Copies of this chain bind each other. A is one copy, B any other.
Amino acid sequence: MSNRPLILVTNDDGITAPGIRTLIDVMRSIGDVVVVAPDSPQSAMGHAITINSTLYVEKITIDDGSQSEYSCSGTPADCVKLAVNEVLDRKPDLCVSGINHGSNSSINVIYSGTMSAALEAGIEGIPAIGFSLLDYNWNANFEHCKSYIKTIAENVLEHGLPNGVVLNVNLPNLAQQDIKGIKICRQAKANWKEEFDKRTNPMGRDYYWLTGKFVNLDHGEDTDEWALENGYVSVVPVQFDLTAHHAIQDLNTWDLK
């Protein structure tokens, strides 16, 4: 039996995406790697799970690396649940998700399949990290991400993470020499201003495409958006206790009899 850490790798862009292939490559230099990832793209799936349909898991070989790989018909959260309960012999020491093709900073965390996989691992008590690169291109260059990903993953293996906390890591789309370092941040208070593109189909029925502009009105210099705009890798500790504890006192003054 190996003394190396057991690392579960997943993503939301699908098991053949260049982002996850890079992540697998980095993780092989740290530990024993098992990949359980969706068989097709699952972007913007949020924390969806499959309860009204069946799930398939298939052992596959994609390259000649030492990792074991399984493709799964479910969502990113399903992949983690199946990995932990059916594929792996023991609880992994680390779960990493990504590298996502595109940003999961700020409010994007809430729509993100990449981060839902990391959160699911966190719920299962596994230290977990989601990685995303600010480049939506399928052929994005992930080379400059490798050293930062390795540093952050090794720190998580060494220190662990507080109970109920996972990391949301976003990497700027810059040349290695232009990246200034890694910054611990809070989630910026930004959101999408939707713009629906209305069209008419050949049968005369109206339909919409969801598009939008990302608007950041949060001028704080401690946010992930600030870090990314200023050439840093952003690391936001994220939790799945959604309770707005600060609001409880106020609500207790309401007349709810």
The interface of chain A, by Cβ under 8 A from chain B, is 41, 43-52, 54-57, 77-78, 81-82, 84-86, 107, 109-111, 116, 119, 123-124, 151-152, 155, 159, 161-162, 164-165, 168, 181-182, 184-187, 189, 191, 194-196, 198-199, 201, 205-210, 235-248, 250-252, 254-257
Instruction: Report A87 CB to chain B, min CB distance, Å.
Output: 10
Residues of chain B within 8 A of A56, CB atoms compared? 205-208
Give chain B residues whose Cβ lies under 8 Å from the Cβ of A187.
241-243
Docked CA distance A32–B207 (Å): 26
Copies of the chain in the assembly: 2
Q: Which residue of B lies closest to A110 (CB)?
A: B47
- Closest Cβ of chain B: how far from A8's Cβ, in Å? 15
Asked, given contacts A49-B111, A116-B46, A123-B191, whether A54 binds B244 with beta carbons under 8 Å apart, the answer is no
Check A238–B244 contact: CB distance below 8 A. Answer: yes
* 9 A-B pairs with least C-beta separation: A46-B47, A46-B46, A237-B247, A239-B244, A237-B244, A182-B256, A54-B207, A46-B48, A55-B208
The winner among A77, A86, A208, A255 for most chain B CB atoms within 10 A is A208
> Nearest-CB distance from A212 to chain B (Å)?
9
CB pair B251 A184 closer than 8 Å: yes
With a cutoff of 8 Å between Cβ atoms, the chain B residues found around residue A46 in the complex are 45-49, 77, 116
Partner pick for A196 among B82, B124, B241, CB 8 A cutoff = B82
Apart from A77-B111, A155-B255: 9 A-B pairs, beta carbons within 8 A: A41-B52, A44-B49, A44-B50, A46-B47, A54-B209, A56-B208, A82-B208, A235-B251, A239-B242
